[in-house]
Structure 1
């Protein structure tokens, strides 16, 4: 089988004016009819879909949200980068590039799924189990793309549901299931995107995938879709959909799987530079990650952006430092502060993250986690605090399992604020904070902010929490409505 090669488009998530990707042929490996007429071709196309789906995680996708929401702040050196994001200065002509990347990936998945469902390919020597596993991978990748789209370009599900919101403010993203380049799809509601696509795709993927499946030929086994990966994303999806019991149940499935465990102290710190074995067989924190390698022609922005601008060797751009607002939340003994941030003599008074230190001395090559086991404990803790039940498990135990493992003080109680704070500290520069704030309906309040004071704080609710759809997709599709607040920009 073709190995997964993650060609990270470094600028895929940059602010840009995007083309109309709902009406363009997606660039997918082996996507023509002839290539998809064999199982090997479909398998190769699936490898290409990994490359398309995961490209945004290897670019600036995780970093952007932490800069927007106060975990990161622009550094003392004005490089010109990461100035728009903390000010939330998005417009329809200068918005996040996720839209084009995700729909390109979705169309690639649709092609592979159509070929599988039509069954016109040669099945010589191919078992039903092999076909089911490939189908499950594509269903997962499509669900992940839609999940990220609806979380970025729409208001949160819980806010819409609780307030009985209808009309454009309740809109999600278009559900596209066929390669019809003449189609001009309208936006489905947020509820429809969850209930008609994301959740059904993941349920079917879990049903189809065999327990032992790992894609052949991969260099990094946690960079491929397996059943625990599907279940972990389901736990996150159910949390955002406010299905508390299902969120707890799926988090428990991953926790009880036995392949993943929390690392502590130096082993946790060393996990980020690859100096300890974090494969599932050794007890991994990481459930699913983006694998980035120079030999595969892939790279990531994160190390260069986040590494301090040292006086000599190993210098990064230092575009983004850790904000003082976040630093003040850490206990002095917390390994996430002591082991994964640092100061330097050139710019005293600032701290930079060391979470993405590069491989072999090259900052551009970092694996990027998408799902980790600590998230499963925090999901289960929140779900239990909201009424879910899991035999023998308490919300406070799960919350403190993460906190004390990082050498931080235990919490006395479980509150949504405590859960948010712990998630904020745990997932620095992994892109969680924006989505947590949205679903918890928290306003953004910043102290450490030296840009335009008019953009210092962002209230919730506000139209700003649903980013603008690229202008070209609005202009080229009369059925597509722009998000409120951006129509005249």
Structure 2
């Protein structure tokens, strides 16, 4: 597995927004502080590729659920994910795998180089540890993204299923392509080790709101850990991490260490008005000089070409999503169908792509607290904070807030409303070991997929099967 090294003298303020202007070999990428920063920016740039957190990964996850209906049957815009019909040769499968492992390898190159002293004398020790921590965070996020679609859910058998090749060393040629898969449990163990290391080494804050939104800091690692622990069912650990960002028992909730995260007053601000809000824990930035176009852009697919509309029988018309809910302003009607406009900027599609929001952390925390009746009162407070931000006159009945099963159902619905179009529905179905639902209209339908069906997860990519003799 080879990793192309791209670096430039990007300023810290601009971060990964700039397009690298020079190509330099692995012999001199650590020669100056600017080049080392360019290498760190390159890891983020790789994460932001079209098939990963440039947006399409979110699309793949969302359309596996029941809340979006497909119109075009276009294989280039995730129809195979909607239809659960991927093959090993599918472009989406291979491009996602390649994008994530390219990000992992860039992270490995940065970690290895700095750990072996290549940047000594060029940057401070503090900056060195920050960069290593950022690389570990991005490696963890990439592995987490892969293991959730290419391997069986952790809860299926305690993580004993085949997982992914754990590539943890820098590669600049194809000599070490052959590597067997680690188990799902081993992959998660590495993800959590990286996130713990990242929390230790990352800065508490950066100097600007832009950097606090687009670069990992301590609260970014803590927030992602709530997602990871929720996925593997370690709910006490979800609570332990969530408390670091949500120390209060009643609203208003906000972080009191590191970046002062809190819910934005209006969700509409986050999507189109200001991308660098206190709610935005990590987002992928876009600029006119650094944006995706056409079918590579999630905004084009959802909002311009209108290839997916909201299922009238899905969360769209659930009673929990009231007519006065501000989040309905993130939809629009065309030819009698409701479409998502969270990514509503026209070409060149410069909407930031959300990766982690504070609202998700509140809901992760609420689910962990509600499960097993750990703290139904606080769980209800967290749920209400998210819902009433957009629909202040809505109240959850005591029969919901005081009952574990009903409260968990309400939290699950809230995730579908609040995080619609942000890549969570397929992820939530798999982590709960639920069937992928049947869906469709009079033109296109797809049947449900059982948790034991072969197409419950994505197939192994043909590129890996061809080049890695130990992968099976």
**Deviations 1:172-220, CA, capped at 9 Å, x for gaps:** 100011235312001000000111x101111011111232345x8x955
Distance 2:442 2:435 in 1: 19
Residues 380 and 395, structure 1, Cα contact 8 Å, conserved in 2:
yes
2:149 paired residue number: 152
Residue 333 of structure 2 corresponds to which residue in structure 1? Answer: 343
Is the 1:290–1:367 Cα contact (8 Å) retained in structure 2? Answer: yes
- The answer on whether the counterparts of 2:163 and 2:184 sit within 8 Å (CA) in structure 1 is yes
Q: Does 1:88 align with 2:84?
A: yes
CA contact (8 A) 2:299 2:349 kept: yes
8 Å CA contact 2:213–2:280 kept in 1: the answer is: yes
1:459 deviation in Å? 1.8
Name the CA distance, whole Å, in 2 between partners of 1:452 and 1:112. 46
Q: Work out whether 1:328 is the aligned partner of 2:320.
A: no
| Contact 2:64–2:436 (8 Å) recurs in 1 | no
2-structure distance, mates of 1:450, 1:431: 26
Query: In structure 2, what is the Cα distance between the partners aligned to 1:297 and 1:327?
Result: 30
Q: What corresponds to 2:242 in structure 1? A: 251
How far off is 1:79 after superposition?
6.2
1:159 offset after TM fit, Å? Answer: 1.4
Match of 1:301 among 297, 301, 318: 297
CA RMSD of aligned residues (A): 2.6
Query: Could you list the per-position Cα deviations for residues 276-317 of structure 1 after superposition, in whole angstroms to 9, with x for gaps in the alignment?
Result: x4535xxx221110101113355561221112xxxxxxxx21
Specify the SS of the correspondent of 2:48.
helix
Report what 1:285 is aligned to: 279
Identify if the C-alpha distance between structure 1 residues 434 and 417 changes in structure 2 by more than 3 Å, giving closer, same or farther. Answer: same
TM-score, normalised to structure 1, is 0.81
TM-score (norm 2): 0.84
| 1:129–1:210 contact (8 Å) kept in structure 2 | no
Please, which of 358, 370, 373 is the counterpart of residue 355 of structure 2? Answer: 370
Which residue in the other structure is 2:379 paired with?
A: 395
Q: 2-side partners of 1:145 and 1:450: how far apart?
A: 37
Partner Cα separation in structure 2 for residue 363 and residue 423 of structure 1:
29
Aligned match for 1:418, one of 410, 420, 423: 410
**TM superposition shift of 1:102:** 0.6
1:121-146 deviations in Å (ceiling 9; x for gaps): 3415x322111111111110111111
Aligned residues: 429
- Counterpart contact for 2:315–2:321, Cα < 8 Å: no
8 Å CA contact retained: 1:29, 1:44: no
Describe the SS at the equivalent of 1:273.
helix
C-alpha displacement of 1:82: 4.2
Equivalence for 1:379: 364
Q: CA deviation at 1:40?
A: 3.3
- Distance in 1, matches of 2:367 and 2:281, equals 20
> What is the alpha-carbon distance in structure 2 between the residues aligned to residue 305 and residue 199 of structure 1?
34
Change (3 A) 1:445 1:294: same
**Structure 1 residue 235 displacement after superposition:** 1.2
Distance 1:30 1:245, change over 3 A: farther
Question: Which deviates the most, 103-112 or 462-471?
Answer: 462-471
Contact 2:59 2:78 in 1 (8 A): no
Instruction: List alignment gaps of at least 5 residues for structure 1.
Output: 9-27, 308-315, 482-489
Question: How far off its partner does 1:54 sit?
Answer: 2.5
Q: Structure 2 matches for 1:24-35, cutoff 5 A? A: 30=24, 32-35=26-29
The answer to whether structure 1 residue 58 and structure 2 residue 68 are counterparts is no
1:194 lines up with 2:188 in the alignment: yes
SS class of match (2:272): coil
Q: 1:426 to 1:179 in 2, by over 3 A?
A: same
**2:387 and 2:414 in contact (8 A); partners too:** yes
> Match of 1:15?
none
For the residues of structure 1 that align with 2:224 and 2:150, how far apart are their CA atoms?
19
SS of the residue 1:386 aligns to: helix
Q: Distance in 1 between matches of 2:264 and 2:121?
A: 44
Q: Is the 8 A contact 1:37 1:121 kept in 2?
A: yes
Alpha carbons of 1:79 and 1:254: their partners in 2 closer, same or farther (altered >3 Å)?
A: same
Taking the aligned partners of 2:261 and 2:324, their CA distance within structure 1 comes to: 22
